[in-house]
């Protein structure tokens, strides 16, 4: 039996990585829930749940900005 051609191995490998990346993105879309994350100086960050007081205020403010930006159109 002849071994597979080198370029064939490379193509298979690339398509495996592409499949993995696509699956990762699918899982990410399904699993990701709304969140509010604040970043402070020196790299510290904090998440605020939607049902907390601070989180609710952040989501309201974000909702208004999304409304201002509209659906699409960059100008």
What is the contact surface with another protein in residues (CB under 8 A)? 28-29, 32, 34-41, 46, 48, 54, 57-66, 68-75
Least Cβ distance, residue 2 to another protein (angstroms): 43
Of 13 and 64, the one with the shorter C-beta distance to another protein is: 64
Of 5 and 44, the one with the shorter C-beta distance to another protein is: 44
Residue 1, SS3? coil
| Whole-number Å distance between alpha carbons of 2 and 9 | 13
Write the CA distances from 2 to 6, 7, 11, integer angstroms: 12, 14, 18
């Amino acid at each position: 039996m002849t071994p597979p051609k080198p370029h064939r191995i490379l193509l298979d490998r690339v398509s495996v990585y592409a499949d993995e990346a696509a699956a990762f993105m699918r899982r990410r879309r399904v699993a990701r829930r709304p969140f509010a994350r604040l970043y402070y100086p020196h790299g510290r960050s904090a998440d605020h749940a939607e049902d907390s007081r601070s989180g609710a205020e952040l989501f309201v403010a974000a909702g208004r900005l999304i409304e201002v930006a509209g659906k699409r159109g960059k100008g």
